[in-house]
Structure 1
């Protein structure tokens, strides 16, 4: 099963339950992030944080 996010700069399709490593927060006000292996941002409505590293 996959989830699809249509954003103003492109469309992202990825497996539900997949894990991503965030490489950059591109919109702090909306929590949209770029992840390793993903050319487009993921909005906060499409992910949950499972681990943070400081």
Structure 2
């Protein structure tokens, strides 16, 4: 759970997506083999992302 608004949710989301992607395909494989993914943040504040 994200408990402090540090103003970095878009960057955190990008990081978590890249971590998941790195486990899905091996070096030299096609990016079309990546599966869809969703990162969900549970926040006790309004993230204010536009």
TM value normalised by structure 1: 0.20
TM value normalised by structure 2: 0.21
Quick check: which one's helix share is greater?
2
Quick check: which one's strand share is greater?
1
Q: Which has the larger radius of gyration?
A: 2
